[in-house]
Structures are given as C-alpha cells and as structure tokens.
C-alpha cells in the first residue's frame, strides 16, 4: 500500500482500489452505522470499518487516501433537478437577483446589445412578486428595450413566462388569444395580453420548440443540441463540485433526452442521470412499448411526470382556501379531475412509476383520488408513486399518502429562497408547508431535493434549509417540522435513492453498493446548523473514480480517462 499524491489519483491510470482512511464515515445505512474507513474496489464498496480492516480487505495492491478527519457521506442524490434547464440558465440572462423593472430593463439592454437581431433572448429566474415598482412587468417594459429580438424570461418557479411583443408576434398570438385549458394569459384593463403567460399558456410561445400541450409549464426552449451538451458539461463540473453524484430530471421531453444521450455518448457527464418523461409523451411511449425503469446506472428513464396544479409563488397552486393576500387566486388545474384520473390510471396500469406535481391541498385531494382509484383497479405492491413538491398535504391527506406508500419529493429550499413570497401567498398556512415531522411520524420518508433551476442545486443548501426552515427575512417556518442533520442527509441520499428505485445499489455506503461518495471538508457532526451552507466538498467519487478534488477541480483529464 502507499499514500497517493494528486497526480497518481487523477493521472492517466487512476487507481481501481482505494482505501479512504482517517475520516468519519456516515454510511446512511438502515442501522445508522458510522466508521472511520471505506474500501473501494472496481467501482463498488468492498469494506466499511477501520483502516486495518479496510486495508486487509483490499490486500496489498491499493492506494490510501487520508481523509484527515473529514466526513465521508454517500454521494448526494437530487431526485428533482432540472439539469438541462439549470445548465441553460448558466448561459442565459440570470434574472434571479433582479428586484425592480428598471434593473430588469438595464440587464436586458446589455444582453440585447450583444445579441444578433432576430435571435431569441432567454432569461431565467425572474421573480416578479415585490418588484420595487409594485406592479407586474409587462411586454411594454421589454418592448422599450428591444423589438428586434424575441424575448422570453422564465419566472423563478418555472411555471410562467414573460415575453415581449416580438415573441408573441412570431408565434401569431394576437389580442384575441383565448386562455388554453390548464393555463391563462394575463391581460390589461382593455383585455390585451400583457406578456405574462401562466402554466399551460407558456406552451403558446414555446410549442415551436417542443409542443407539450397542456401537460406542464413549457420552458423547453429551442437551443441546438451542441450547445446543450456544452452546457451540460459545465453543469456536470459544478454539480460534482457541490457533491451531487446522481440527479433526476423531472420533466424530460425529446429535447432533454437527446441532450443527455449525446452528453453520455461524448463522456462529458460523470453524474448519473435519471430522466422522467413528461406525460404528453405517454401515447408514444406506450406505442413503442417503453416503460421505465429503462436504461443503465448512468442514464435511465425513471418515473413518468404528471402535473396536477400550478405553483404557489405565482398563485396558481390549487388550495381549498385560495392564495394571495386577498385570497383571490384560485389556481390552475392542468387537467380536469376525471382526465387526471384517466391519465394516472393508464400510466399506472401500463407499469409506470408516477411522479405527480401537486402543491395545494385541493389539488392533493384530486390527485390522491386518482391514485387510489388506479391502485384499487390494479394493486401494485411497492410501486412508490412520487408526489413532486407535496407542499401542503392536510393531516388526513398525509394518512392517505402513507397508506398508498407514496413518496413526497420536497424542496425545503423554497422556504429559504421564496419563503417571504410564500408568506404573502399562504399567510399562516406556511407553517404547515412540507410537514416533515408529521410525515415521519406516519412512517413516510420525505425526500429533499433542489428543484434547480428554481432553487440552489447545492445539496448542502438544501440540507441546511430542511434543518433551519427560515425565510429570507428570517421568519422561522413550522419549527416542529425541522429535520436533524442526520435525517436531512438521509432524505438526500438513501430516501432519494428509494424514490428512484435504486436503493439496492445507491444511497448508502454499504458493502456491494456502487461506490458513489462525497467527502465534506470538515466534520459534519460538529458543524453548527447555521454553518452547514458554508461546508465545502473536498472530494467526489462516482463509480469508485475520483471525479472532483477541491484542490484540482473536475478537470477534463479526469473525464478523458473515464473508462480506465
Ligand atoms: Zn420542478
């Protein structure tokens, strides 16, 4: 045995057998074991224990990596992360920090100046609640900057877009446009579209890229696959440096699948990717006999994504008591209840695991009715249907979720990033958003995830948000539902693997499992909750290969030797 230098670990022949020693290993296995060393051989965990036991298991031909007291945890699994869209947001107008229409027009002006006339200008993350001007932005604001370019700015929730007149014109959308089912067009006092399109109305402008009908908010912009692959390579670097080893993209059309396939082909993505096809493709998928899970441990098709309602941030989630300060926002259902029930049943009976976007309690009831009916018609043990967001289940609905064995795939980062807007929308109801403790007491294991690009993709931000449920202005939200660090870590590893039906090989550091591990640059156990977000990742391992080292970055030579 020997202790390796950087060059040996990342050079042309990275070691196949590694002993990670001298650390704190949090295994996230069912008995909550901790250890000080892990052995890795040929991409799998082959020993967990102390240095002596691990070295003995590996034999003489291995390389030691001294963790220096750092904490090793299972590779972090983001069960709801729009990786392609997040990657696109890196190169688009980043509207996340914009707080006024004046600031928005200045930022847009800079982009318009360097964009060829006629080319689309895209932006992500615009949050139009609480803008300094105290009104919604309109297409007229954008038109003042440019009508030479079509402009589409995706709202921070991903559920709405703001477009300029050129974008509406290019798609032939006139003043007489009707609200499509599952969406609405914001209008001024004269009935003229203001440029804000909500939920399924986003498809009016974006269907030219991918037509998803009324099956979800459309943010699938026309971008050449070459560009998407380059952006995915960048996202891969950033995600590995943040400690992610697996992501599940919860809204995949042919555009995303093509990008992921091409990226895989070229070896530019080390992360494992699980793709959830959007329900507008169900007929085609069934025609060719394709049902998830399908694929391998690096790129696979998982559950089918279905939408019930809109989003809380912009007032389109469906609650029994409407949203907004004036309680006048009744929300939007993508499908009428009987249509949702038919869609759920058809996919369930075909063998799909489902991931159903549902935020409000009224939408939750409609969704649970549909799933119960499908399960009654054809019971499927351990089917693990997921509820994406699962933001506001009532006490009674939690009981139904437990009985159905459904898995809430939540995003506590919404509280830390959008919580003040949620306070406006929900009032006191916010304290029962993502009721983790109540869920756990019923035996439900909620998963935590990022929903990037909506929130930060950094798993430590998500874990910190589950542990400290604080809004940006510091309001503590439902403290009884705060998770411990151990619970939050498990919700981002083992429980996430369970939601992906990959818990037999991912999600914990156990003998025989795939060797996906992350070493945090510190002692997780003694890190105060308010310091969790500043904990860095020191090393990321996927398939037993070191794919990121803090002192080196995720360099291209690592990827070049992926097959060694
Ligand atoms: Zn999402």
pLDDT digits (tens, 9 = 90+) for 419-432: 999 999 999 999 99
**Can you give the pTM of this predicted structure?**
0.94
Residues contacting residue 30 through CB under 8 Å, at least 6 positions apart: 508
Do the strands 71-74 and 76-78 form a parallel or antiparallel pair, or are they unpaired? unpaired
Q: Which residues surround ligand 1, an ion (CB under 5 A)?
A: 451
Q: Ligand 1 centroid vs 207 CA: distance in angstroms?
A: 19
Predicted local confidence at residue 11, as pLDDT? 58
SS3 state of residue 87: helix
30: Cα separation from own chain's centroid: 25
**175 near 155, Cβ under 8 Å?**
no
Q: What is the mean pLDDT of the chain?
A: 93
CATH of segment(s) 92-204: 3.10.310.70
Q: Ligand 1 centroid vs 60 CA: distance in angstroms?
A: 47
Q: Ligand 1 centroid vs 250 CA: distance in angstroms?
A: 6
Share of the chain above pLDDT 90, in %: 89
Q: Ligand 1 centroid vs 81 CA: distance in angstroms?
A: 7
Predicted local confidence at residue 554, as pLDDT? 53
The domain spans of the chain are 6-74+512-561, 92-204, 225-499
- Structure token pair of residue 506: 């991912």
In CATH terms, the superfamily for domain 6-74+512-561 is Urease, subunit C, domain 1 (2.30.40.10)
Predicted local confidence at residue 562, as pLDDT? 26
Count Cα atoms within 13 angstroms, Cβ side, for 74. 33
Predicted local confidence at residue 437, as pLDDT? 98
Q: 13-46 burial string, b = 16+ CB within 10 Å, else e?
A: ebbebbbbbbbbbbbbbeeeeebbbbbbbebbbb
For residue 345, give the nearest of 383, 380, 303, 373 by alpha carbon: 373
Residue 558 binned pLDDT confidence (cut-offs 50, 70, 90): very low
| pLDDT per residue as tens digits for the range 67-109 | 999 999 999 999 999 999 999 999 899 998 899 999 999 999 9
DSSP 482-494: PPPHHHHHHHTTH
Q: Ligand 1 centroid vs 451 CA: distance in angstroms?
A: 5
Q: Ligand 1 centroid vs 1 CA: distance in angstroms?
A: 46
Q: Ligand 1 centroid vs 235 CA: distance in angstroms?
A: 17
Strand partners, 410: 448
Q: Ligand 1 centroid vs 69 CA: distance in angstroms?
A: 36
Cβ atoms within 10 Å, residue 239: 30
Q: Ligand 1 centroid vs 27 CA: distance in angstroms?
A: 28
* Distances 28 to 81, 121, 170, 386, 506 between C-alpha atoms, Å: 22, 44, 52, 21, 11
| pLDDT per residue as tens digits for the range 30-56 | 888 899 999 999 999 999 999 999 999
Q: Ligand 1 centroid vs 537 CA: distance in angstroms?
A: 25
Share of the chain above pLDDT 70, in %: 95
Q: Ligand 1 centroid vs 492 CA: distance in angstroms?
A: 16
Q: Ligand 1 centroid vs 80 CA: distance in angstroms?
A: 6
| pLDDT per residue as tens digits for the range 135-174 | 999 999 999 999 999 999 999 988 999 999 999 999 999 9
Average of per-residue pLDDT across 439-445: 97
Predicted local confidence at residue 549, as pLDDT? 94
Is the C-alpha dihedral spanning 483, 486, 487, 493 positive or negative?
positive
**339 burial via Cβ count (<10 Å: 0-12, 13-18, 19+):** middle
Predicted local confidence at residue 338, as pLDDT? 98
Distance separating alpha carbons of residues 148 and 112, to the nearest angstrom:
9
Do the strands 151-155 and 121-126 form a parallel or antiparallel pair, or are they unpaired? parallel
Q: Ligand 1 centroid vs 152 CA: distance in angstroms?
A: 19
Average of per-residue pLDDT across 452-471: 97
Element (H or E) spanning 387, and its range?
strand 386-389
Q: Ligand 1 centroid vs 82 CA: distance in angstroms?
A: 6
Residue 20 has pLDDT above 60, yes or no: yes
**483 near 447, Cβ under 8 Å?**
no
| pLDDT per residue as tens digits for the range 482-541 | 999 999 999 999 999 999 999 999 999 999 999 999 999 999 999 999 999 999 999 999
Average of per-residue pLDDT across 314-328: 95
Q: Ligand 1 centroid vs 155 CA: distance in angstroms?
A: 12
Q: Ligand 1 centroid vs 473 CA: distance in angstroms?
A: 24
Residue 208 binned pLDDT confidence (cut-offs 50, 70, 90): confident
Distance separating alpha carbons of residues 350 and 16, to the nearest angstrom:
41
* Distances 54 to 45, 57, 65, 517 between C-alpha atoms, Å: 10, 5, 12, 16
Q: Ligand 1 centroid vs 249 CA: distance in angstroms?
A: 8
Q: Ligand 1 centroid vs 523 CA: distance in angstroms?
A: 31
**160 near 202, Cβ under 8 Å?**
yes
Residue 8 has pLDDT above 80, yes or no: no
Predicted local confidence at residue 10, as pLDDT? 58
For residue 244, give the nearest of 28, 95, 461, 88 by alpha carbon: 461
Residue 117 has pLDDT above 90, yes or no: yes
User: What is the Cα Rg of the chain in Å?
Assistant: 23
For residue 54, give the nearest of 21, 5, 31, 86 by alpha carbon: 21
CATH entry 3.20.20.140 includes domain 225-499:
yes
Distance separating alpha carbons of residues 26 and 59, to the nearest angstrom:
24
* Distances 145 to 5, 13, 155, 187 between C-alpha atoms, Å: 54, 54, 19, 21
Q: Ligand 1 centroid vs 200 CA: distance in angstroms?
A: 15
Average of per-residue pLDDT across 19-27: 97
Distance separating alpha carbons of residues 540 and 535, to the nearest angstrom:
14
**521 near 20, Cβ under 8 Å?**
no
**256 near 209, Cβ under 8 Å?**
no
């Amino acid at each position: 045995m020997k202790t390796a230098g950087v060059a040996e670990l990342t050079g042309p022949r990275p070691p196949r057998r590694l002993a990670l020693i001298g650390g704190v290993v949090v295994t996230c296995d069912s008995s909550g074991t901790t250890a000080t060393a892990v052995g890795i051989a040929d991409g799998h965990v082959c020993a967990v224990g102390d240095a002596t036991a691990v070295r003995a298991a590996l034999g003489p031909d291995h390389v030691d990596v001294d963790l220096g007291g750092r904490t090793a945890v299972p590779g972090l699994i983001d069960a709801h992360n729009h990786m392609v869209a997040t990657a696109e947001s890196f190169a688009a107008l980043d509207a996340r920090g914009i707080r006024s229409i004046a600031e928005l027009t200045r930022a847009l002006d800079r982009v318009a100046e360097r964009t060829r006339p006629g080319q689309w200008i895209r932006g992500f993350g615009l949050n139009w609640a609480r803008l300094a001007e105290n009104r919604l932005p309109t297409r007229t604001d954008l038109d003042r900057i440019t009508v030479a370019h079509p402009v589409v700015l995706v709202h921070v929730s991903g559920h709405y877009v703001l477009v300029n007149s050129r974008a509406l014109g290019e798609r032939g959308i006139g003043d007489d446009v009707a609200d499509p089912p599952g969406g609405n067009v914001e209008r001024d006092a004269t009935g003229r579209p203001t440029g804000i399109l909500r939920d399924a109305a986003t498809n009016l402008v974006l269907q030219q890229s991918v037509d998803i009908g009324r099956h979800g908010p459309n943010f699938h912009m026309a971008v050449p696959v070459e560009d998407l692959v380059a952006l995915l390579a960048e996202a891969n670097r950033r995600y590995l440096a943040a400690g992610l080893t697996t992501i599940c993209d919860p809204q995949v059309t042919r555009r995303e699948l093509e990008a992921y396939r091409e990226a895989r082909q070229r070896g530019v993505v080390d992360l494992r990717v699980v793709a959830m096809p959007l329900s507008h493709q169900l007929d085609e998928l069934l025609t060719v006999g394709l049902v998830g899970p399908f694929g391998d441990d690096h790129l696979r098709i998982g559950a089918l994504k279905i939408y019930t309602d809109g989003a809380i941030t912009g007032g389109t989630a469906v609650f029994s008591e409407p949203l907004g300060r004036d309680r006048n926002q009744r929300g939007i259902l993508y499908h009428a209840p009987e249509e949702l029930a038919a869609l759920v049943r058809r996919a369930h009976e075909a063998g799909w695991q489902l991931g159903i976007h549902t935020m409000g309690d009224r939408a939750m009831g409609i969704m649970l009715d549909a799933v119960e009916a499908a399960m009654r018609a054809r019971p499927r043990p351990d089917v693990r249907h997921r509820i994406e967001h699962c933001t506001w289940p009532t006490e009674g609905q939690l009981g139904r979720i437990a009985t159905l064995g459904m898995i809430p795939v939540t995003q506590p980062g919404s509280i830390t990033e959008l919580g003040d807007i949620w306070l406006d929308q929900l009032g006191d109801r916010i304290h029962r958003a993502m009721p983790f403790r109540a869920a756990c007491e019923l035996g439900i294991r909620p998963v935590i995830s990022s929903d990037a690009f909506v929130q930060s993709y950094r798993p430590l931000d998500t874990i910190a948000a589950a542990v400290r449920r604080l809004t940006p202005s510091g309001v503590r939200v439902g403290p009884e539902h705060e998770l411990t660090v151990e619970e939050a870590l498990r919700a981002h590893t083992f429980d996430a693997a369970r939601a992906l039906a990959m818990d037999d090989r991912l999600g914990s550091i156990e003998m025989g499992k795939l060797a996906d591990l992350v070493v945090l640059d510190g002692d997780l156990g003694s890190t105060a909750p308010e310091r969790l977000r500043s904990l860095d990742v020191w090393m990321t391992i996927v398939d037993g290969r070191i794919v990121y080292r803090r002192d080196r970055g995720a360099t291209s030579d690592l990827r070049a030797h992926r097959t060694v």
